Structure 1
Amino acid sequence: MTPDTVGPLSRPVAVERALKAGQEVVVEASPEEREALARDFGLPAIHSLVGRFRLAGSLHRLQVTGTVEAAIAQTCVVTLDPFDSTMREEVDVDFAAPDAFAGTAAEDAEIPDPIVNGRVDLGSLTAEFLALGLDPYPRKPGVAFEPPAGDAPETPFSRLKSLKDGA
């Protein structure tokens, strides 16, 4: 984790300390962090963002499970009106020390996220799962897309259809 790679929400957690404590780790975004994430994700607002995580494993192999929950404002793709919604994403991510797979057949396979300097960034993980949980085409509840009424535009295929129907 270098300053260049850390986004607006960063909560580095020492793996050893978190494993010894054995307690749930809670990441709650501050208003400034929510505002920065909303800008990054093109949202009108993020009202709340909380990640709740449990860590299990060892210093070299770690499994992080939990949930990310958010109350957000999105823009409807049909009406362009903002509306409030909630989202909840389940988290199940494996981490490993960067050299854990060196020299093995698994070296070329998809490997877990890295444990860097004995730490994992649960803030970045929270932001990542928020992004994964966002609907790419949000619609305000009760709104459906209605195609414009009238004649359909002429396309090359409509010309072919007219030739087929006329023959």
Structure 2
Amino acid sequence: MITPEFSRPHRLDAIGAGEREVRVEADAGERAALARRFGLMAIDRLAADFAIRRDATGVIARGTLSGAVVQACGVTGEPVPAKVEEAFDIRFLPEPEAGADEVELSEDECDTVFYSGGAIDLGEAAAETLALALDPFPRSPNAEAALREAGVLSEAQTGPFAALAKLKKT
């Protein structure tokens, strides 16, 4: 098993009956390792505030992730700084046993994380939430000009109404 770069195990027996507030924050080394893992130029800040509580099947964690990242523009490679503010709802469930029936997840349980042992990893949950919140196609202010210079046509130039626009000009 690979050890996560940003691990903050939280023991299940420390949760208790009510809701518990927990904050996790990545240090500089953890942020650098996560940046490499996610293909980012940098992660300048990463923190998550959790409200965790037990339920009948596992642990519910709700909260907010906040961070500051620098992605590479998909066109120019230039740095694209971005702030991340992401609300999350995560259900931690025990890892299904080998050979056990499949676990059915409903649509409202799409953010389900399985755990084994006596702890859940809030740091890894925050890291995965960050990865899902990233812009998959970051663009710098110079991206449009670089695409034009390379001869790439915009959607407006090639889309379904492009032919009509040409007719209108004549």
Bin for the TM-score computed over the shorter chain: 0.7 to 0.9
State the partner residue of 1:127: 127
Q: Sequence identity of aligned pairs in percent? A: 34
Could you list the per-position Cα deviations for residues 28-68 of structure 1 after superposition, in whole angstroms to 9, with x for gaps in the alignment? 00000001011111111100000111112248521111121
Amino acid at match of 2:102: D
State the partner residue of 2:114: 114
* Displacement after TM superposition at 1:20 (Å): 5.1
Q: With the length of structure 2 as denominator, give the TM-score of the two structures.
A: 0.72
Q: Aligned partners of 1:17, 1:59: CA distance in 2, in Å?
A: 16
Q: Aligned partners of 2:39, 2:95: CA distance in 1, in Å?
A: 33
Matched residue pairs, number?
144
* Displacement after TM superposition at 1:142 (Å): 7.3
Q: Rate the CA distance shift 1:136–1:130 in 2: closer, same or farther, 3 A.
A: same
1:96 to 93, 97, 111: 93
Q: Quick check: 1:34–1:46 contact (8 Å CA) kept in 2?
A: yes
Q: Secondary structure at the match of 1:110?
A: coil
Is it true that 1:40 corresponds to 2:34 in the alignment? no
Q: Quick check: 2:17–2:54 contact (8 Å CA) kept in 1?
A: no
Two-structure CA RMSD over aligned residues (Å)? 2.8
Q: Aligned partners of 2:2, 2:20: CA distance in 1, in Å?
A: 27
Q: Rate the CA distance shift 1:62–1:6 in 2: closer, same or farther, 3 A.
A: same
Q: Which runs of 4+ in 1 moved over 4 A?
A: none
Q: Quick check: 1:66–1:91 contact (8 Å CA) kept in 2?
A: yes
Is it true that 1:25 corresponds to 2:22 in the alignment? yes
State the partner residue of 2:138: 138
Give the gaps of 5 or more residues in structure 2: 106-111, 153-170
Q: Aligned partners of 2:141, 2:50: CA distance in 1, in Å?
A: 30
Amino acid at match of 2:28: P
Q: Secondary structure at the match of 1:7?
A: coil
* Displacement after TM superposition at 1:127 (Å): 0.7
Q: Rate the CA distance shift 1:39–1:55 in 2: closer, same or farther, 3 A.
A: same
Rg comparison, structure with higher value: 1
Give the gaps of 5 or more residues in structure 1: 151-167
Q: Aligned partners of 1:6, 1:20: CA distance in 2, in Å?
A: 29
* Displacement after TM superposition at 1:83 (Å): 2.5
State the partner residue of 1:156: none
Q: Aligned partners of 2:102, 2:19: CA distance in 1, in Å?
A: 32
Amino acid at match of 2:9: P
Q: Aligned partners of 2:16, 2:78: CA distance in 1, in Å?
A: 45
Amino acid at match of 1:136: P
